[in-house]
Structure 1
Amino acid sequence: MISKDQRLALVIGATGGVGGAVTERLLAGGWRVRALNRDPDRARQTHGRAGLDWVKGDAMAEADVAAAAQGASLIVHGANPAGYRNWAGLQLPMLNASIAAAKAAGAKLLFPGTVYNYGPDAFPKLTEASPQHPLTRKGAIRVRMEAALKAASDEAGLRVIIVRAGDFFGPRTTANSWMASGLIKPGKPLTSVMYPGPLGVAHGWAYLPDVAETMVTLAERDDLAAFEVFHMAGHTVTGDELVAAMARVAGRKLAVSRLPWLALHAIAPFNETMREMLEMRYLWDEPVLLDNAKLAARLGAEPHTPLDDALRAALAGLGVLPQPVAQLAA
């Protein structure tokens, strides 16, 4: 185990979904946490989190990341370009900066994986050993990122933990998430859901506090190999089951429509986010299930918040649920 006097973590991407959730879990667990941001004053005002040490720096600059990582025993690489923009130009340089900093500091590197790495030849059930033959540009980039982590572990002894999960949702879900940017309209009363795929097909969702609990629990262990990959099952539900759970939480029947993929095709040439979302359509057309047998064997059980409870927290955070009477009175 990492001793308490060494428990300093550097989080790259603390304003994002995964980075933010991991930051909260680290702070709750007694870690000292440092967060890198190009505008730390603004980040401090907009994202708060008492006890978090915001430092100025650019995740693309190796010198900035290395300076911020001094004394850290853990680096959390949660950086993700907003709106899927410029993955080719940003993702690998940012990761390479974190790898260099982790090597220099002798720190573990904690990394969130995605299902983008896989093509239909690996479906429906994905294990840590499933072949990675992506169909998309984003998938190819994610494969190269994990290959860079594996090479750094093999060649320099870098300790790496990759935790792969389905589509993220949570109390602070960002605009990069399907739930916030595709299924519902944040800030407006929840009356309808726009679903991207066939309603009868199972899809994997990952509640961010559960992901953070899993990642930090693994990072605090000292019995892992130098390079480890774990899959989280999360919540595997059909579209019908997800909508039914949302309706229970909202206390009303919800109208359901299909995402207008043809309209996205028309917008895509002028909108990078829409263009990148189109690449991911294949992940909704058939079941994509993550096998968590390795994780469950290591931890005893995967951290798992009941679906209705998780959705209640996530939807409240997105401002789509009715406010309690006490809040309205205030």
Structure 2
Amino acid sequence: MSDGKQRILVFGATGQQGGSVASALLAAGWRVRALVRDPASAKAAALRGAGVDLMQGGFADAALIRQAMEGVHGVFSVQPSSGQGPLLGLSDEEEERYGIGIADLAAEAGVRHLVYTSTAAIGNEPTGMGHFDTKARIEAHIRRLPITASIVRPVTFMEMLAMPGFGLNEGRFSFLLRRDQRMQVIAVEDIGRFVAAIFADPARFGGTTLEIAGDAVTGRELEALFSEAAGRPIAYARFPDDLLAADPFLGKLAALMDAGRLAGNADLQALRELNPGMLSLRSWLAGPGRKAFAAALGDAGKWDYGPA
């Protein structure tokens, strides 16, 4: 357990997963260091105000990363992938290079515990999608290193469901799963709580891969939950077949959903014992996700999650 003195280096602390992890670690009594590109940004200032030790740098700054790893107990590694769109993500090649590089530097520095965040879509066979398969190769590399490491594989983020472009502003919602198909989802807030629990118990979680989720819903249940949250009917339908055929990115995602690889296979009961307060989609819509969902109801913007 944390004694309130050990330090964790968190990558991506101004982003979704890294920010969630930094917050959860601070709440659990860890000291947190973060590598940020712009220490003057509002998000960096908020981290500093919360007590995070900031160092300016990026994924390509190997010398600075070595310096940031000096004296730390653990490292949380996340890289923005190409699947997050051209404004946020790295190329597939950069993601793989930086993910492997951070792991190598952590092993070199004698870091006691490395936690890497991957994706639930990974299996024994490649997916054919770069931003998934890069993570599989990073995972494989980490397992060969002389370091205590844990890998978390989050399922689809609840936050992604509240992005513009799915039709909520038109009283409908289109997505990848069929009406009676079930998929697991997770609130980004809970990723940090799971990672904090993993850092707190390296004897249990060292050398393990843990798929994490917070809820499971069908297309019909999405329709009911979104209608309830919106206070008016929201009709659900899978993306039309002609769209899936015309858009290779969405088509491959739909195929992975049908194959079960994107749907998620986390043990929700066991995860609830690890994180008793984990959010269901209903509780997320009523709480942390309420503002984003309300914005999506009135936002006619374009969905921008995948490559253009």
TM-score, scaled relative to structure 1: 0.75
CA distance in 1, matches of 2:294, 2:216: 23
- Structure-2 residue corresponding to 1:168: 157
Change (3 A) 1:93 1:319: same
For structure 1, the 5+ residue unaligned runs are 119-131, 269-274, 323-330
Paired amino acid for 2:127 = L
- Structure-2 residue corresponding to 1:114: 119
Change (3 A) 1:70 1:113: same
Within 5 Å, give how 1:82-93 maps onto structure 2: 82-83=84-85, 85-93=89-97
* Matched residue SS, 1:72: coil
Q: Percentage identity across aligned positions?
A: 24
Within 5 Å, give how 1:23-62 maps onto structure 2: 23-42=22-41, 44=43, 48=47, 50-62=50-62
Q: Establish whether residue 283 from structure 1 lines up as the match of residue 256 from structure 2.
A: yes
Deviation at 1:36, TM superposition (A): 1.0
State the 4+ residue runs in structure 1 displaced beyond 6 angstroms: none
* Matched residue SS, 2:216: strand
Within 5 Å, give how 1:99-110 maps onto structure 2: 99-103=103-107, 104-110=109-115
Within 5 Å, give how 1:146-225 maps onto structure 2: 146-152=139-145, 156=146, 158-169=147-158, 173=159, 177=160, 179-180=162-163, 183=166, 191-224=171-204
* Matched residue SS, 1:59: coil
Deviation at 1:222, TM superposition (A): 3.9
- Structure-2 residue corresponding to 1:77: 77
Change (3 A) 1:55 1:226: same
Q: Deviations over 1:115-146 (max 9, x none)?
A: 2213xxxxxxxxxxxxx112313332221111
Q: Establish whether residue 64 from structure 1 lines up as the match of residue 46 from structure 2.
A: no
CA distance in 2, matches of 1:237, 1:298: 16
Report if aligned partners of 2:153, 2:210 keep a CA contact under 8 Å in 1: yes
Report if aligned partners of 2:116, 2:151 keep a CA contact under 8 Å in 1: yes
TM-score, scaled relative to structure 2: 0.80
Change (3 A) 1:182 1:72: farther
One of 284, 295, 307 as aligned partner of 1:310: 284
CA distance in 2, matches of 1:42, 1:58: 14
Deviation at 1:321, TM superposition (A): 5.9
Change (3 A) 1:196 1:243: same
CA distance in 2, matches of 1:286, 1:36: 37
Deviation at 1:197, TM superposition (A): 2.7
CA distance in 1, matches of 2:42, 2:240: 35
Report if aligned partners of 1:9, 1:33 keep a CA contact under 8 Å in 2: yes
Paired amino acid for 1:95 = G
* Matched residue SS, 1:116: coil
Report if aligned partners of 1:59, 1:94 keep a CA contact under 8 Å in 2: yes
CA distance in 2, matches of 1:297, 1:259: 31
Deviation at 1:114, TM superposition (A): 1.0
Within 5 Å, give how 1:187-266 maps onto structure 2: 191-224=171-204, 226-260=206-240, 262-263=242-243
- Structure-2 residue corresponding to 1:96: 100
Deviation at 1:292, TM superposition (A): 2.0
Deviation at 1:230, TM superposition (A): 1.6
Deviation at 1:286, TM superposition (A): 5.0
Q: Deviations over 1:162-194 (max 9, x none)?
A: 12221012xxx4xxx354255466xxx684322
Q: Deviations over 1:91-134 (max 9, x none)?
A: 1211123213322042311122312213xxxxxxxxxxxxx112
CA distance in 1, matches of 2:66, 2:170: 44
Q: CA RMSD in A?
A: 3.1
CA distance in 2, matches of 1:256, 1:55: 45
Deviation at 1:261, TM superposition (A): 6.2
CA distance in 2, matches of 1:208, 1:197: 20
